[in-house]
Structure 1
Amino acid sequence: MKLSNPGSVPVYTIAGPSTARPLPDWLSRRRKRSEKHDPENVNNFELLQEFEFEEASNVVRVSEDGNWIMSSGTYKPQFHVHSTQELSLSFARHTKSENTTFLLLSQDYTKSLHLQNDRSLEFHTPMGCHYETRLPRFGRDLAYIRQSTEVLIPAVGVSADGSGFGEVFRLDLERGQYLRPWQVGVGSDGLDSGLQGGINVGAVNVAAVAESTHGLCAFGTSIGTVEFYDPRSKSRVATLGGQEGEVTALDYGQDGLSLALGTSNGQIRVFDLRNPRPLLTKDQGMGEAIKNLIHMRTPTGERKLLSADKRIIKIWDEQSGDLWTSIEPMVDINHVAHCPDSGMLLTANEGKQQHCFFIPNLGLAPKWCHFLDNMVHEMETETRTETYDNYKFLTLPELKSLSLGHLVGKTNLLRPYMHGYFVAAKLYDQARLIANPYVWEEERAKRVREKVEKERASRIRGVKKVKVNQKLVEKVLKRQEKRETVDTSAGILGDSRFGKLFEDEEFKVDETSREFMAINPSTTISKADGTEEVIQPRYQYASSGEESDSEAGSDSEKPSDGVVMQISSSRAAGGQTKDTAIGSRIQRLPQTLSRERSGEVVGEKQVTFVPQSKKKGKPEEAPAPEKKRLDSRRSASTNTFRRQ
Structure 2
Amino acid sequence: MQVTTAGGVKVYNLSAGKSLPEWISERKRRALLKNDLGLRRRIELLQDFSMPIASTGIQVTADGQYIMASGVYKPRIRCYDVKQLSMKFERCLDAEIVKFHMLSEDYSKFVCLLSDRQLEIHAQYGFYYRTRIPKFGRDLSYHSPSCDLYIVGASSEVYRLNLDQGRYMAPLHTNARSCTVCEINPHHQLLTIGTEQGGVECWDPRSNTRCGQMAVSLDTMDSGGDTTLQPAVTALKYKNSLTLAVGTASGQVNGSKLSEMRVLLYDLRTPTPFLEKDHHYSIPVHSIAFQRSQDLVLSADAKALRIWHCSDGSPFTAIEPEHAINSVCYLPETGMVFMACEDSKMLSYYIPAVGHAPRWCSFLDSLTEELEEAEPVVYDDYKFVTSSDLDTLGLSHLVGTNLLRGYMHGYFMDIRLYHKAKAVSQPFAYREYRKEKIRQKIDEQRASRVKEKKVLRVNSELAKRLMEDTKKTVKDVSNPLGDNRFAAMFSDANFQIDEESEEFRAVHPVLAKAKLKKKKLEEKQADIERGESEEREGRPSDESSSSDEEEERAAWREVARLRRSKMAEEGEKGSVGEEGAKVEMVAVSGGDRLSIQRPSTVSRASLGKRLEREGGASLATPHSSSLGNKEMKFSLKKSEVETTHKQRMRDHRIERRKLGRSAKKILPKTRNTPVFWKGRRVK
Query: Which position in structure 2 is the counterpart of 1:367?
Result: 359
Q: How does 1:319-468 map to 2 (within 5 A)?
A: 319-383=311-375, 385-386=376-377, 401-402=401-402, 442=417, 445-446=420-421, 461=436
Give the one of 89, 92, 109 matched to 1:91.
Answer: 89
Question: 2:294–2:354: 8 Å Cα contact kept in structure 1?
Answer: no
Question: 1:48–1:88: 8 Å Cα contact kept in structure 2?
Answer: yes
Query: Which position in structure 2 is the counterpart of 1:257?
Result: 242
Relative to structure 1, the CA distance from residue 59 to residue 174 in structure 2 (aligned partners, 3 Å threshold; closer, same or farther) is: same
Question: 1:17–1:353: 8 Å Cα contact kept in structure 2?
Answer: no
Give the letter for the 1:3 counterpart.
Answer: V
The 10-residue stretch of structure 1 (137-146 or 268-277) with the greater mean CA deviation from structure 2? 268-277
The 10-residue stretch of structure 1 (484-493 or 280-289) with the greater mean CA deviation from structure 2? 484-493
Q: Deviations over 1:616-640 (max 9, x none)?
A: xxxxxxxxxxxxxxxxxxxxxxxxx
Identify the structure with bigger relative contact order (alpha carbons < 8 Å, sequence gap 6+).
1
Deviation at 1:389, TM superposition (A): 7.9
Q: Deviations over 1:77-128 (max 9, x none)?
A: 1111111110111111111111111011111000001000010101101211
Distance 2:34 2:105 in 1: 39
Give the one of 281, 284, 293 matched to 2:279.
Answer: 284
Q: How does 1:22-101 map to 2 (within 5 A)?
A: 33-101=31-99
Count of residues paired in the alignment: 423
Deviation at 1:368, TM superposition (A): 1.2
Relative to structure 1, the CA distance from residue 449 to residue 101 in structure 2 (aligned partners, 3 Å threshold; closer, same or farther) is: farther
Which secondary structure does the structure 1 equivalent of 2:154 belong to? strand
> Is 1:127 equivalent to 2:116 in the alignment?
no
Relative to structure 1, the CA distance from residue 261 to residue 461 in structure 2 (aligned partners, 3 Å threshold; closer, same or farther) is: same
Query: Which position in structure 2 is the counterpart of 1:246?
Result: 232
Query: By percentage of residues, which structure has more helix?
Result: 2
Question: 2:335–2:357: 8 Å Cα contact kept in structure 1?
Answer: yes
> Is 1:183 equivalent to 2:209 in the alignment?
no
Sequence identity of aligned pairs in percent? 34
Distance 1:107 1:460 in 2: 78
Deviation at 1:44, TM superposition (A): 2.1
Deviation at 1:493, TM superposition (A): 8.8
Query: Which position in structure 2 is the counterpart of 1:434?
Result: none
Distance 1:329 1:250 in 2: 23
Relative to structure 1, the CA distance from residue 418 to residue 98 in structure 2 (aligned partners, 3 Å threshold; closer, same or farther) is: same
Distance 2:454 2:354 in 1: 76
Q: Deviations over 1:355-410 (max 9, x none)?
A: 01111111111111111111111111133x43988999999x98975599xxxxxx
Give the letter for the 1:175 counterpart.
Answer: Q
Which runs of no fewer than 5 residues in structure 1 stay unpaired? Answer: 158-165, 187-201, 405-413, 430-438, 463-477, 500-644
Which secondary structure does the structure 2 equivalent of 1:490 belong to? helix
Distance 1:203 1:105 in 2: 25
Which secondary structure does the structure 2 equivalent of 1:379 belong to? helix
* TM-score normalised by length of structure 2: 0.56
Question: 1:141–1:207: 8 Å Cα contact kept in structure 2?
Answer: yes
Relative to structure 1, the CA distance from residue 236 to residue 52 in structure 2 (aligned partners, 3 Å threshold; closer, same or farther) is: same
CA RMSD of aligned residues (A): 3.9
Distance 1:73 1:388 in 2: 41
Which secondary structure does the structure 1 equivalent of 2:420 belong to? helix
Which secondary structure does the structure 1 equivalent of 2:181 belong to? strand
Query: Which position in structure 2 is the counterpart of 1:4?
Result: 4
Distance 2:35 2:374 in 1: 23
Give the one of 207, 231, 238 matched to 2:205.
Answer: 231
Give the letter for the 1:490 counterpart.
Answer: A
Question: 1:17–1:330: 8 Å Cα contact kept in structure 2?
Answer: no
Deviation at 1:53, TM superposition (A): 0.8
Deviation at 1:37, TM superposition (A): 2.9
Relative to structure 1, the CA distance from residue 399 to residue 71 in structure 2 (aligned partners, 3 Å threshold; closer, same or farther) is: farther
Distance 2:8 2:275 in 1: 23
Question: 2:7–2:316: 8 Å Cα contact kept in structure 1?
Answer: no
Query: Which position in structure 2 is the counterpart of 1:525?
Result: none
Which secondary structure does the structure 2 equivalent of 1:185 belong to? coil
Deviation at 1:203, TM superposition (A): 2.0
Q: Deviations over 1:554-603 (max 9, x none)?
A: xxxxxxxxxxxxxxxxxxxxxxxxxxxxxxxxxxxxxxxxxxxxxxxxxx
Distance 2:67 2:2 in 1: 23
Q: 4+ residue stretches of structure 1 with deviation over 6 A?
A: 27-32, 387-395, 397-400, 416-420, 447-460, 491-494
Q: Deviations over 1:130-149 (max 9, x none)?
A: 01111011100011112211
Deviation at 1:150, TM superposition (A): 1.1
> Is 1:106 equivalent to 2:104 in the alignment?
yes
Question: 1:17–1:351: 8 Å Cα contact kept in structure 2?
Answer: no
Which secondary structure does the structure 2 equivalent of 1:275 belong to? coil
Q: Deviations over 1:187-214 (max 9, x none)?
A: xxxxxxxxxxxxxxx4200011111x12
Which secondary structure does the structure 1 equivalent of 2:34 belong to? coil
Distance 1:366 1:75 in 2: 30
Which runs of no fewer than 5 residues in structure 2 stay unpaired? Answer: 219-229, 251-260, 388-396, 457-683
Q: How does 1:527-546 map to 2 (within 5 A)?
A: none
Question: 2:6–2:317: 8 Å Cα contact kept in structure 1?
Answer: no
Distance 2:80 2:431 in 1: 58
Relative to structure 1, the CA distance from residue 458 to residue 281 in structure 2 (aligned partners, 3 Å threshold; closer, same or farther) is: farther
Distance 1:357 1:33 in 2: 29
Deviation at 1:351, TM superposition (A): 0.4
Relative to structure 1, the CA distance from residue 302 to residue 419 in structure 2 (aligned partners, 3 Å threshold; closer, same or farther) is: farther
Relative to structure 1, the CA distance from residue 391 to residue 369 in structure 2 (aligned partners, 3 Å threshold; closer, same or farther) is: farther
Which secondary structure does the structure 1 equivalent of 2:360 belong to? helix
Question: 1:6–1:387: 8 Å Cα contact kept in structure 2?
Answer: no
